[in-house]
Chain A
Amino acid sequence: MKKYLILALLLTLGFALRAQSTDPFVTKCVLNAGADAKYLKDFRIQLGKAAAQGELRYRANMSLWKNTKYRFTMCSTDDSKGQLILSIKDDANKIILSSFDKKTGKTYSFVDFVCNKSGIYQLNYDFSGGEQGSGVGVVSMVK
């Protein structure tokens, strides 16, 4: 009996591990990046409501290379209160792009970045208004 329980547990674990790579929400977002986009990375983000609005809360570093056009695609789940937004800083902490236009209040679902300076960049994600939400940020290359 114990043998069967262990087997069932292993099968369940195996299924769970496999399910990680085929999350339909992430796959959909990857494919939404466009037919000409070639996938590089994704960042999966889940945040509660921020106590106070300020800096974007999810941070990750990524090397970006000169003479490459990157596409940053942001997808939020339907139950998110805010939309996933992105800003990118260079290694001098200077903001070089934001998917949220403060002047107009417009949020872009994707941003193309023509990189001319190779280096390590900081990707900052959050949900608009510091709201609670779940989403994925996909990084691709485009021609």
Chain B
Amino acid sequence: MKLKLNFLIIAILVVFACGNSGTKGNEFVFPEADSIPLSEAEKLSPEAIEDISKNISSPVEIANLLQLLEVPFSQEYLATSIDANKESTNFNKAMKLGILGADLGYLNMYEKTGSSLDVLSSIRKLSEDLKVGQFFDFEIIKRLSQNKSNLDSLLFISIESYEQIDTYLRNNDRGQLSALMIIGVWIEGQYLATQVVSKFPDKMLQDRIGEQKIILNDLIMLIAPYCNKSTEFNDLCRDLQSLKDTYRDVRITYTQGEPVASEKDGGLVITQTETSVVDMSSDRLNSIVKLTSDIRNRLISIN
């Protein structure tokens, strides 16, 4: 058994998001306060931060939903204007590493290998600049991306590389870069979903966008300790807070039910009968689409 000890965490007792968001009765609510006190965000334990980073919806899941809805691939959603050679600050490098990670997930899911090589080359440059290039085996990823039968291995290696970078940065007092990378991944996934929903107004996709309210507060918690670090961080914190305000009227309610179990092919199948229901007006959705686009475009344009 060659598992590395640093991956093995015994009996982690984590209180989800330090009680800052959750269900109240049958409805999901933000915490009472309009903003998170810095002192409270700073109390986040390393385990809680790790948990938040694992909570964030994977862009692969968004891309999977798009495929389920038979939404065609489009190059126009990608952050093609990013020039990895022109990024001057670690803030921009880490943020764009996250944004390009989400684009890579989208490309991988749609098996767009030609474009993914360009994105991989930018990822390589940014990760090397941040001194985390050792976690990417670019040759393997490149080889896997050229062989369409290896999608699962490609997703595994790509996601695993990002998780290793995230862990490494947090363990080496570079938590602010880890937070930026995670937020970059999320904002690009959110951008992808919101751009698609403008053209394909599907209820399932609208709901997925509305449900991001569940983890938005966690993202704000993650970045909160660094909000006063520089103007760049301050602007990002302000943007996320604005997005949270836009989400305030999105209602997520729950219906009760017991899970149903059956067996199939030697495995257990559990179907959940409890449901979550999103109530979001089209005006609200439009505001979220617009603000997400503004934030993401501002982030990719600065260097």
Contact = CB atoms under 8 A, between A and B. Distances in A.
Contact of A120 (B16, B140, B153): B16
Contact of B55 (A17, A44, A62, A99): A62
Contacts of B4: 20, 23, 44
Interface in A4-18: 14, 17-18
A42 B12 CA distance: 16
B204 interface: yes
A118 B137 contact: no
A9 to B, nearest CB: 14
Contacts of B161: 21
Nearest to A14: B134
A6 B151 CA distance: 38
Interface residues of B, number: 67
Given A18-B137, A25-B1, A30 B159 contact: no
Contact of A63 (B12, B65, B215, B266): B215
Interface in B27-61: 28, 51, 54-58, 60-61
Interface stretch (B80-88, B206-214, B227-235): B206-214
B55 A120 contact: yes
A40 B153 contact: no
B10 A58 contact: yes
Contact of A110 (B2, B208, B267): B267
A-B pairs with lowest CB-CB distance, top 9: A46-B8, A44-B7, A114-B271, A118-B211, A97-B270, A108-B268, A117-B276, A39-B156, A110-B267
